[in-house]
Amino acid sequence: MDQITTNPIVIGIDAGGTMTDTILVDQDGHFKIGKSATTPKNEAEGFLASAEDAADAWGISLQDLFSGVNVVLYSGTGMLNTLLSRTGRKLGLITTKGLEDMILMGRGLQAWADYSYADRLHAVTHHHPDPLIPRRRTHGVTERIDQFGDVILPLYEHEAHAAAKKLIADKVEAICIMTVFSHVNPAHEKRIAEICREEIAAAGSDILVYTSHEVRPVIREQSRLNSVLIEAYATSRGRRQLKGIEDVSKKYGFKYGVQTLLSFGGLTSIDHPRLHETMISGPIGGILGAAYVGKLIGNDSLICSDMGGTSFDMGVITRGQTRIENEPLMDRFKLNVPTLHLDTIGAGAGMILKVDPLTKKVSLGPESAGSDPGPICFAKGGTEPTIADCDAILGRLNPHYFLGGKVVLQVEKARNAFEEKCARVLGVGVEEAAEGMIDMLEADANNALRRVISGQGIHPSEFTLLSYGGSGPLHLAGCSRGIGFKDIITFQFAAAFSAFGCTTADFMRRHSVSTQIDIGARASDDELQAFGAKVTAVWNDLTRAAVDEMVADGHALPKIKTVPFLMMRYTGQLEDVEVMAPLSAISSADDMRKVIAEFEAVYAKVNHRVSRYGEAGFSITELGLIATADKVKPMLVKRPLGTSDPASAHKGVREAYVGGRWHKANLYEMDLLQPGHEVIGPAIIEHPATTLVVHPQDSVFVDEWTLLHYSHA
C-alpha cells in the first residue's frame, strides 16, 4: 500500500461472534484495519476498541476519526449467532386456532433443504431443526381471513385474552403473532396485538409484541412465521446494541446516522424496522467484498468462506453473478427475505469442545465461548476448552502476538484444562487430542464446502476459494484439502474482510408494495393505458418515499439514482420474474406493451422461450423501486512481482505441531510479505489479527495484488 496522506471518510465495522473488525477507507481508496474482541454485553465497547485499533494504525485519534468520516457502517453476526446457539429470547406464539402444531411440523422441506445431493436422497439422514419456541407456549385463537382479505370466522377475543394471560404468566420476553393471510388483511393480527398489549400493561410486565404482517408482509405463512419468530428471538437485543453504537459514534463527533447492511446487499439506517433483514449482513459483506476483489483481479467464479470464532459462512459467485435467494434458509428455517445466497454452519475457533466421560464421544459446539469469557488461553474466565486453545497448545498461535500482543495467551492454562477435560478422558496425548479436535472442525467445514458445491451442482475445479475471517487462514489448509479448487486465496486483511466488503456497498433503498394487477391476454388499448397509469402512480409514490428517505439521510439529490422494477408472471404461475422497468413512467398502451415485452424477454432469457404463455395473461404482483447513491470504496494496489525469497518477512522459528509431530516452523510477518514471495511449509505467517498455518510441503505465493495463494502439496 502506498503512502497515505488523507484522513478516512468511511468506517466499516463487522462484529463477529468473537472479534470485531474495523476498516478505515479514505477518499482515494486507501484502507487500514483494526481489531478487537467483540463485547456481546455491550457491543459498543468492542466497536470503539476496534475503531481505536484502526485509528492507531492510521495515526489519528478517535475524535479525529469520527468527526471526519461521513459514513459509519456497522454489521454483525451477533443476531445470527444468537439463533445458531439458541440463546435468544423466551418467546410465546399466538396463531390461528388449529395450526398450533406448525411449530413442530415445520415445512417438511426444512428436514432436508440444506443437505447435499446425496443426503437429500438418503432419507435416514433427514431431521427437523429444533423449534425456536416450544409447543407449550403456542396458543391458537379462533379466526380465519381468506386470500381475498375477507373475514370468514371472526376473531375470538376471549381466546386472545386467555392466551396473552397465559404467556405473561409463563414469563415470556416477547409474544409473536402470526395468522393466516395477515399480509392481505392484518385486522386480526392487529387486534390480537392490542389485546396482548392491554394484558401486558394490566400485568405491569415488560413484554414485546411482534406481528407477522409488520415483520414480513409476504405470502407463505411458514416463512412469515419463521421471520417473525426470528425477528423476536434474535434481533431485539441487536437493536439496542445498534443504538448504543450510534450513541458512542456521536459522542466522538460523528454527525450522521449509523448504517448497516441488508441481506440483499445494500446499506440502510439502523432504524430499519425489519432488523432480521440485516441479520446475515456480516457474511453478506464478505460476498460483496469477494465480488469486488474478483472483479479487480479478473476472476469471477468464487467460493467465499468466512471462519470466525463461531460460524463458518460460505457463499458462491458464478461468473460474476451472486445468487439472490427469495426464500432463503436461516439455520434451516425457511424465510422469505431476498438474500444473497449463503450457507452457514456452526464452526469456528471459539467452539467449545466436550468429551463425554462415559461414551468418549467428542462434540464440537454448537456453543461458542465467544469473546467473553472466550477460550481458556485468553485467561478471561473461560473454563471450557475451545479450538483456539488447541491452536495455542499446538504452537500454531503465537502466544505473544495475538491481536498484536494485546492479549497474551496462557498456553499452560489451556493445556492443563484441555488435558484434564479432553485428552485424559479420551486416553490419548494432549497434542494428539488437540490436533484431532482441529481435524474434526476442519473436516466439518470441508464437508460443508463440498455440500455447498454439490448442492449447487458446481464442480470445484471451476472455482477459486477465497478464505477470510479471523480464523479462516488458521484452518484454511484442512478446510480446503482434497476438494480440488482452481485456486485458494487469502488476504493480509483476512480478519477484516467482511468489514472491507461492507464498505464496497452503495447506499440503497428497496421499496416495494404487493399489487394484484391482472392484464388479460386480449386487453384493449384503453385497458393497457389504465394499467400503465396505475403502475406509474405507484412508482411515483415509491420514488418520493425512497428519495425523501435518502435525502433525510444526507444524500445530495443529484447523486440519487432510481430504477423502478416490476415483479411479473404469467397469470396463474407461482413465481415472479424481476423486471427492471424499461421506462420510468407508462403513459400509453404502447408503453405498457413495451413493459410486457420486456417481461417476456427477461422471462425467455431466464426460462427459455418455449415456456412463454401469453395466452394466460400477465400479472404484476409487486411494484418496486431501487434507489442508490454512490459511496467511496477501498482499492487494492497492484505492484510488480519481486524475488521469491521471503527472507525480508522472516521473523524466526517456532515449534508447531502439525500432522502428528512437532516441526520447526518458519515464522513470517504477513504484512511484510511482498509480491513474488513464496513460503514453503511448515511455516506460520502471522498478522496481528490472523494467522496462516502452512502445512509441511504446502506453499503460499504472494501475487502482484499482494493476495496470498495457498497450494496443497
Residues within the interface to other proteins (CB under 8 A): 97-102, 104-112, 117-124, 126-128, 135-136, 140, 142, 144, 146-148, 152-154, 156-158, 180-181, 219-223, 454, 456-459, 461, 484, 570, 572-575, 606-613, 616
In the complex, least distance from residue 570 CB atom to other proteins, rounded to whole angstroms: 7
Report yes or no: 666 and 693 within 8 Å, Cβ to Cβ: no
Residue 531: partners with Cβ closer than 8 Å, 6 or more residues away = 517, 519, 523, 586, 592, 620
The count of C-alpha atoms lying within 13 angstroms of the C-alpha of 326, restricted to the half-sphere facing its C-beta, is: 9
Cβ of residue 610: shortest distance to other proteins, in angstroms? 5
Residue 224 vs 415, nearer CB to other proteins: 224
Residue placing its CB nearer to other proteins in the complex, 140 or 283: 140
436/478 Cα distance (integer angstroms): 12
Nearer to other proteins, 378 or 603 (CB): 603
In the bound complex, what is the minimum distance in angstroms from residue 164's beta carbon to other proteins? 16
CB of 133 to other proteins, least distance (A): 12
Min CB(389)–other proteins separation in Å:
32
C-alpha cell at 303: 467460493
Residue 590 half-sphere exposure toward CB, CA atoms < 13 A: 0
Peptide bond between residue 373 and the one before it cis (omega within 30 degrees of 0): yes
- Give the residue ranges of DSSP H helices in 154-278: 157-169, 187-203, 212-215, 221-230, 236-251
Shortest reach from residue 82's CB to other proteins, in Å: 24
Select 33 or 316, whichever has its Cβ closest to other proteins: 316
End-to-end C-alpha distance for the chain, whole angstroms: 30
Distance between CA atoms of 682 and 418, rounded to whole angstroms? 25
Q: Which of residues 556 and 574 has its CB atom nearest to other proteins in the complex?
A: 574
Which one, 100 or 372, has the nearer CB to other proteins?
100
* Local structure of 133: helix, strand or coil: coil
CB nearer to other proteins: give 97 or 650: 97
Chain CA centroid to CA 253, Å: 29
Nearer to other proteins, 222 or 249 (CB): 222
CA distances from residue 127 to 102, 383, 418, 456, 536 in whole angstroms, order as listed: 15, 32, 32, 21, 47
Q: CB of residue 110 vs other proteins: minimum separation in angstroms?
A: 8
The least distance separating other proteins from the CB of residue 569, rounded to whole angstroms, comes to 9
Specify whether the CB–CB gap between 700 and 709 falls below 8 A: yes
Task: Find the shortest distance in angstroms from Cβ 616 to other proteins.
Answer: 6
Output the smallest distance, CB 144 to other proteins, in A: 5
Label the pairing between strands 678-680 and 618-629. unpaired
State the Cα–Cα distance between residues 316 and 450, nearest whole angstrom: 12
Pick the closer one to other proteins by CB: 111 or 530. 111
Residue for grid cell 407456549: 137
Distance CA 11, CA 65 (A): 9
Residue closer to other proteins (CB basis): 454 or 562: 454
Nearest alpha carbon to residue 597 among 581, 576, 621, 575:
581
DSSP structure class, residue 573 = -
Task: Give the integer Cα–Cα distance in Å for 652 and 667.
Answer: 5
> Least Å distance between CB 605 and other proteins?
11
Which residue, 157 or 703, is less far from other proteins as judged by CB? 157
Closest to other proteins by CB, 608 or 661: 608
Closest CA to 75 of 349, 372, 292, 277: 277
Q: Which is nearer to other proteins, 225 or 474 (CB)?
A: 225
644 and 713 Cβ atoms separated by less than 8 Å: no
Shortest distance (Å) from residue 584 CB to other proteins: 27
For residue 187, the tally of other CB atoms under 10 A from its CB is: 15
- Nine-digit cell string for 485: 479448487
- Residues 517, 595: contact at Cβ < 8 Å? no
In the block, cell 412508482 appears at: 539
Q: How far is the CB of 651 from other proteins (least distance, A)?
A: 39
What is the maximum alpha-carbon separation in the chain?
A: 83
